[in-house]
């Protein structure tokens, strides 16, 4: 029967969840239970000479530092490995195999570092270690590049090389393509491994598909207890063991794995979630590094559609390595969609005429001072214009959206059948199947201060200034406080996010507003930190 082995990487990949701070007792417990369960290979952590020794972490500066972990542990059958991310641990930190508790070392490396990484692995092999190669993100290799790598791998003769799906991009077809490339271009003595991530919920499914391949190639599948691992997590060791027991004559003791999950892993899960998530699905569906998605989501200004549109502009060879400057430039280019908005200024000017304008910003004061606002509205009968939201207590004539995310979130309220609200947007907001009545250039309205670059109230005031509007009344432009829930009315609470720069942001708004008010008279009807 074909040889299929399980490599558990809980203490290594799982360490991304808790900075490898499992505690010595938990580290020993996990190793012991994995061994008792019959796990073939246990990866006990990282080797990284930039870290100081800490007995409670499964990341060590040198091989000798792992020795205390095995004090009073009696490992019966498991092969023991540690991983090196190439470039983070020098050869001088590694003792010879005969003086080490490790049987082998896995080396993970980027495509650009492959030649130097293989030389490093050759030096490790001379020290007596079994070598496991982990080329980062094999989906980033062309077939020609992969064949060239495999040609050099043949010379090294490692114990194993893995199909590494770093960002969980693979479906069955892609996985099988890389397996067949490796299978055809490597000697039969070299094991082929598979390291998955669960961005598409396919980690376990892909492992079982690989196991079912009609081949005499020895196979190693990576898993972690309860899928504990970076980002979307890994295939679950307990599921892999169950599947092998049921279909390939395995003898793994599932109870030991479940005991380790219950005692040692669930307490980490309670502290920090790992597994399938919206962010990691978006990253995988765009074949890109998750930090690109995180960066755009954190801006709190973009709809999912807009995020996808920005990411598609990243060149393929740059997608798998996060570049903050590149991302910021693409974001600014996307927001600065240039349109001819002269007709919009003229049309909005005609529509507003000489009527008083009441701007309703989403501050809590529109609720606490509602009586005053209603009296003002009854007396002045102003044009009511809400900013980035719709409040059911008032009947706005216009809504201004300078934020694609808010436009999407309030879409149904804006376009209710019983309403006839005119929609004003900046050019970064994409039109859907509903009409945007007036659209203005985003780039011409942004502020110089990056903290308040796209503040929608200030942007609208700049539009009114350009239209030579003499005066505007404002309510709800309260200013930020440390507790977000005190800043906004009920309609807005569900869309809040933590703002770490509230004090600086208040000062920036105050200064910019003062400059704008040199060109337009602004009267506040509710309390504000800005005046």
Could you tell me the pLDDT band of residue 417, with boundaries at 50, 70 and 90?
Answer: low
Rounded CA gap, 114 and 122, in Å? 12
CA distance linking residue 172 with residue 110, whole number of Å:
23
pLDDT score, position 495: 43
- Is the CB of residue 144 less than 8 Å from the CB of residue 179? no
**Residue 357, strand partner residues:** 383
The rounded distance, in Å, linking the Cα atoms of 79 and 81 is 7
Yes or no: say if 361 and 387 are a contact pair by the CB < 8 Å rule: yes
Q: Closest by alpha carbon to 366, among 473, 259, 451?
A: 473
Model confidence, pTM: 0.70
Mean pLDDT within 245-262 = 96
For 97, list phi and psi in degrees, rounded to 5: -55, -40
* Lowest-pLDDT choice from 67-76, 395-404, 425-434: 425-434
Residue 516 pLDDT greater than 80, yes or no: yes
Ordered strands of the 357-360 beta sheet: 438-440, 422-426, 398-401, 383-387, 357-360, 471-475, 521-524
Q: For residue 119, what pLDDT is reported?
A: 97
The yes-or-no verdict on residue 142 having pLDDT over 80 is yes
CA distance 501 to 480: 9
Q: Give kind and range of the element (H or E) at residue 438.
A: strand 438-440
pLDDT at position 490 is 53
Q: How many CA atoms lie within 13 A of 525 on its CB side?
A: 25
Q: What is the DSSP letter of 360?
A: E
Give the chain's mean pLDDT: 90
Using DSSP, state whether 169 is helix, strand or coil.
coil
**What pLDDT, in 10s, does the model give residues 195-241?**
999 999 999 999 999 999 999 999 999 999 999 998 899 999 999 99
Higher-pLDDT residue of 531 and 226 is: 226
Report pLDDT digits (tens) over 468-511.
999 999 999 998 776 554 555 555 444 444 445 667 888 999 99
Backbone angles phi, psi at 458, to 5 degrees: -65, -35
Rounded to whole angstroms, the Cα distance separating 47 from 33 reads: 22
The counts of H helices and E strands in the chain are 22, 16
Residue found by looking up tokens 């200034």 in the block = 465
Note the pLDDT tens digit of each residue in 273-296: 999 888 888 888 888 888 899 888
Backbone φ and ψ for 162, nearest 5 degrees, come out as: -115, 150
Q: Is residue 305 pLDDT above 80, yes or no? A: no
Residue 464 above 80 pLDDT?
yes
Residue range 450-478: mean pLDDT, rounded? 93
Cα(482)–Cα(487) distance, integer angstroms: 9
H or E element in which residue 75 lies: none
In this prediction, residue 416 carries a pLDDT of 76
User: Could you give the CA distance from residue 491 to residue 85 in angstroms, rounded to a whole number?
Assistant: 48
Per residue in 347-358, pLDDT tens?
A: 999 999 989 999
Q: What are the residues whose beta carbons fall under 8 Å from the beta carbon of 129, sequence distance 6 or more? A: 94, 97, 100, 102, 103, 104, 105
Q: Provide the pLDDT for residue 501.
A: 64
């Amino acid at each position: 029967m074909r040889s299929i082995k399980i490599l558990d990487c809980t203490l290594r990949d799982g360490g991304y969840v808790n900075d490898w701070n499992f505690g010595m007792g938990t580290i020993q417990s996990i190793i012991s239970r994995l061994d008792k369960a019959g796990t073939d290979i246990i990866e006990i952590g990282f080797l990284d000479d930039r870290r100081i020794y800490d007995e409670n972490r499964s990341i060590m500066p040198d091989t000798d530092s792992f020795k205390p972990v095995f004090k009073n542990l009696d490992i019966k059958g498991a092969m023991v490995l540690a991983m090196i991310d190439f470039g983070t641990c020098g050869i001088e930190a590694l003792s010879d195999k005969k003086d080490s508790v490790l049987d082998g070392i896995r080396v993970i490396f980027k495509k650009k570092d492959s030649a130097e990484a293989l030389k490093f692995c050759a030096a490790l092999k001379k020290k007596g270690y079994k070598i496991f190669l982990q080329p980062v993100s094999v989906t980033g290799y062309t077939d020609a590049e992969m064949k060239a790598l495999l040609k050099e791998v043949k010379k090294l003769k490692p114990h194993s090389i893995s199909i590494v799906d770093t960002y969980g991009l693979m479906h069955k077809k892609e996985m099988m393509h890389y397996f067949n490339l490796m299978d055809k271009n490597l000697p039969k003595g070299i094991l082929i491994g598979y390291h998955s991530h669960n961005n598409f919920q396919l980690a376990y499914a892909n492992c079982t598909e690989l196991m079912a391949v009609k081949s005499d190639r020895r196979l190693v599948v990576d898993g972690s207890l309860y899928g504990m691992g970076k980002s979307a997590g890994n295939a679950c060791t307990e599921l892999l063991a169950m599947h092998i027991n049921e279909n390939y004559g395995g003898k793994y003791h599932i109870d030991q794995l479940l005991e380790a999950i219950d005692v040692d892993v669930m307490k980490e899960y309670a502290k920090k979630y790992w597994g399938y998530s919206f962010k990691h699905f978006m990253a995988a569906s765009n074949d890109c590094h998750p930090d690109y998605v995180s960066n755009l989501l954190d801006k709190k200004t973009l709809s999912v559609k807009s995020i996808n549109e920005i990411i598609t502009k990243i060149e393929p060879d740059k997608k798998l390595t996060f570049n903050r400057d590149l991302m910021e430039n693409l974001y600014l280019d996307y927001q600065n969609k240039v349109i001819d908005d002269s007709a919009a200024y003229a049309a909005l000017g005609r529509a507003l005429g000489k009527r008083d304008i009441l701007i309703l910003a989403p501050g809590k004061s529109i609720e606490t001072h509602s009586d005053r606002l209603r009296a003002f509205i009854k007396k002045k009968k102003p044009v009511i214009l809400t900013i980035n939201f719709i409040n059911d207590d008032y009947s706005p004539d216009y809504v201004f959206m300078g934020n694609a995310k808010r436009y999407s979130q309030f879409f149904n309220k804006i376009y209710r059948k019983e309403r006839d609200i005119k929609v004003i947007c900046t050019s970064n907001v994409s039109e859907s199947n509903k009409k945007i009545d007036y659209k203005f250039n985003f780039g011409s309205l942004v502020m110089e201060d990056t903290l308040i670059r796209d503040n929608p109230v200030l942007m609208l005031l700049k539009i009114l200034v350009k239209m030579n509007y003499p005066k505007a009344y404002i309510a709800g432009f309260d200013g930020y406080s440390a507790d977000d829930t005190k800043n906004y009315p009920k309609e807005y609470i569900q869309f809040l996010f933590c703002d770490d720069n509230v004090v600086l942001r208040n000062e920036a708004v105050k200064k910019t507003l003062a400059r704008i008010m040199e060109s337009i008279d602004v009267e506040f009807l509710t309390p504000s930190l800005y005046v």
